[in-house]
Amino acid sequence: MPESSLISPDEYARIAERVTNEVERVIVGQRTLVNDVLTCLFAEGHALLEGLPGLGKTKLLSTLAQVVGLEFRRIQFTPDLMPADIVGTHVLRQGDDGNRGFYFEPGPVFANLVLADEINRATPKTQSALLEAMAERSVTVSGETHRLTRPFLVMATQNPIELEGTYPLPEAQLDRFMLKAMVEFPDADDLATILSRTTGVDEPTVTKVVDAQQLVAMADLTRSVAVADHVARHIVDIVVATHPERDESPDVVKRYLRFGASPRGAQSITLAGKVRALRDGRTHLAIEDVRAMTLACLRHRVQLKFEAEIDGVGVDEVLDQVLAAVPAPTAGVRGAP
């Protein structure tokens, strides 16, 4: 670990546990979902949450904003939302010097944590207004570039594309999300707990346990986690195996995938795995971290063919078979941590 780091690995793990515990005071029975969202938070990446309406996606992200104490803005995406409603625009007003002129009025994207609620209910043109902000952490309006303050994260929710009034997200937009988390319907016991917590007089409350400076330090520490050559190669092999045009790709990929994951997929697996390692008290990336984060980091970066729909095959099933076809390096690999 670099000596200049503002936070130690032990403190990283303690903060991560405290944030998890606070969020789970409100969010019940969604441990995988919470972990996926926190992975993006600690790596300063963007998260896409998909699930039916009413499953707590917005509640999770608004709760997280309270726990981490970041400047929080919510954008409700609708068909009539325009790009300027997100990034901002120049308006005519009187300046401090008394003269009238056009001044830039920042939009809601100028925050630390931006909730893009039901992002796929807006048109692709409006969705793409977030592209520069997510990739470059800056916004350009009328030729003038404005930097966004760290940490900057977009947490977007979307309804399944089969629902009415939804638009598919452009591939370039999807690729900028570090991972895609699936929001499942709670089981009976969890649903009973949700009812008792949310229909009484007093609802659970949370407290702030971390600040922006600590989160930036955690993101910097995440990037400093060591990656052995054989682990990096395993990530590469997994991503390459999702490309149907490659001779070495498994048959399931050639049959069901239209195209494979981009290099950002490999980057996301690496960063997400590093977060998992630090939360587990380790300062090196392990094969188990890589394989544990592959589905979340790749499921939105590959596209199924029509044949998959006909055969009832989902993207996670294909990726599971990719992992089976790309076995983990055996124990005792030279240089393994």
Highest mean pLDDT of the ranges 96-110, 127-141, 239-253: 239-253
Alpha carbons 126 and 82: distance in angstroms, whole number: 6
Q: How far apart, in whole angstroms, are the C-alpha atoms of residue 328 and residue 285?
A: 14
Query: Does the pLDDT of residue 2 top 70, yes or no?
Result: no
pLDDT score at 307: 93
Element (H, E) at 117: strand 113-117
Fold of 9-197+207-214: Rossmann fold (3.40.50)
Q: What is the rounded distance in angstroms from the CA atom of residue 48 to the CA atom of residue 46? A: 7
Angle formed by the axes of helices 31-43 and 263-279, nearest 10°: 100
Whether the predicted pLDDT of 332 surpasses 50: no
Give the mean model confidence (pLDDT) for residues 68-95.
Answer: 87
> Taking residues 88-101, what's their average pLDDT?
79
| pLDDT value, residue 101 | 79
**pLDDT per residue as tens digits for the range 219-247:** 999 999 999 999 999 999 999 999 999 98
Q: Percent of the chain having pLDDT more than 90?
A: 53
Is residue 98 predicted with pLDDT exceeding 80? no
Average pLDDT score over residue span 2-16: 79
Q: What is the mean pLDDT of residues 64-83?
A: 90
pLDDT tens digits, one per residue of 165-212:
677 788 888 899 999 998 888 888 878 887 877 777 777 788 899 999
Instruction: Please check the confidence at residue 1 and state whether its pLDDT lies above 70.
Output: no
Place domain 225-325 in its CATH homologous superfamily: Magnesium chelatase subunit I, C-Terminal domain (1.10.8.80)
Global pTM value: 0.88
pLDDT, residue 21, reads 92
Check pLDDT > 90 for residue 298. Answer: yes
Q: What is the pLDDT of residue 295?
A: 96
Domain ranges for the chain, please list them: 9-197+207-214, 225-325
Mean pLDDT of 70-81: 90
Question: Is the pLDDT confidence value at 255 over 90?
Answer: yes
Mean pLDDT calculated for residue range 100-106: 82
pLDDT over 60 (residue 331): no
**234-244: burial string, b at 16+ Cβ within 10 Å, e else:** bbebbbbbbbb
CB 173 within 8 A of CB 299: no
Identify the residue whose tokens are 């188990």. Answer: 288
The half-sphere exposure of 141 on its side-chain side, counting CA atoms within 13 A, is 23
